[in-house]
Amino acid sequence: MIRSLLIPLLAIVGMLFAVYSVVKASKPAPVPPPYAEPAKAPFTAFVAGAGLIEASSRNIGVGTPVGGIVEQVHVKVGDKVAAGDALFSIDARELKAELAIRQAQVKAAREQVERLKQLPRPEELPPLQARVREAEQGLADAKAQYEMINTAALGEAAGREEVVRRRIAVASAEARLEQAKAQLALTQAGVWAPDVAIAQAQYDSAVAQVAATEVEIGRRTITAPVAGEVLQVEVLPGEFAAAGAAARSLLQIGATQTLHVRVDVDEHDAWRVKGDAKGFAALRGNAAISTPLRFVRFEPLVVPKRSLMGDSTERVDTRVLQVIYAFDRGTLPVFVGQQMDVFIEAVAIGERSAATPEQK
């Protein structure tokens, strides 16, 4: 009798346990408290978006115009630099050696120009004048010998031969005199103008080559394009720094006294945002760190969204209007690259027809 009642009793207990389990499982799980209190908008009507902090000059990736071994890095992360300050240097020893050679060539070319301009040298004239006098004496002697032999009573055959020889000697003496006079006149006339022009052109070319080498040496020292803060250093002494469009940024710099927030506004809400609309931003993870924003500009091109939030309802094909806002960094503990929750005062949904974004 007891055995016959035990089986139905166990079945009833099992059924009650199953019902209890189903009821308990169907109750919603308690929602855990948020890790951080979300930021709240200070506007009645607003558009919310994710903002990314960047330098007001944009984050400038610095490269090198020429490849080579890094000789020295002059800055470190966090340094404040002025426009034109040296950031890092590429080895330029071969160019410095070439510069020394070209500077020597400039000196030689300059001396050549000065030498030509100072011609004739005073000490060059006396020897030439003496050579003219010598040639005049030689001509006089040849003429005297000719006159003597021409009037002498010599044998007819021997006399004619000697006369011809003396006449030729006179002609040779006259030619030597003319040559000596021409050399003296050429020296007295000084340097030929085209020779000076050629020497000057060679000097100018040597100077230009020095300047070109100095420019190449200067290109080996990479300087800051703007005044700002060094955000990242990705190069060390001894490493090879590659040049070209495909090369990685060796160093990042940006103006951080005033920071910009690049806000992604969904294209479906873009019509609600107007130029000069007020903005408010809170740091992601700590709503207590917040600041009002100043409108800077719209980016005129709507682009695909890149910074996804991980929300299951978010679509990867979302396109966004990027709005740039600014704020003074001051003492805010924020850094370039951090995300902020941004709220932009916007046109209410019922005022659709009145909303016209002024994209400046």
Domain ranges of the chain: 46-58+252-354, 60-91+220-251, 99-215
| 101-149 tens-digit pLDDT | 999 999 999 999 988 888 887 777 888 888 888 888 888 888 888 888 7
- At position 232, the amino acid (one-letter code) is Q
Q: State the pLDDT at residue 87.
A: 96
Whose CA is closest to 357, among 319, 322, 305? 322
Q: State the pLDDT at residue 353.
A: 44
CA 281 centroid distance within chain: 35
pLDDT over 90 at 351, yes or no: no
B/e letters for 301-336, b = 16+ CB within 10 Å, e = fewer, are eeeebeeeeeeeeeeeeeebbbbbbebebeeeebeb
Q: State the pLDDT at residue 306.
A: 74
pLDDT over 80 at 67, yes or no: yes
pLDDT tier at 354 (50, 70, 90 boundaries)?
Answer: very low
**pTM of model > 0.75:** no
CB atoms closer than 10 angstroms to residue 41: 17
The alpha-carbon radius of gyration of the chain (Å, integer) is 48
Give the architecture-level CATH label for domain 60-91+220-251. Beta Barrel (2.40)
Q: Tell me if residue 177 falls in helix, strand or coil.
A: helix
Phi, psi of 345 (to 5 degrees): -60, 130
Check residues 338 and 318 and name the one with the higher pLDDT: 338
What distance in Å separates the CA atoms of residue 105 and residue 185, rounded to the nearest whole number? 32
pLDDT over 90 at 151, yes or no: no
- Considering the four listed CATH numbers 3.40.50.720, 2.40.30.170, 3.90.340.10, 3.40.50.2300, the one that applies to the domain covering 46-58+252-354 is 2.40.30.170
Phi, psi of 298 (to 5 degrees): -95, 140
Instruction: Name the average pLDDT for the chain.
Output: 85
Check residues 116 and 234 and name the one with the higher pLDDT: 234
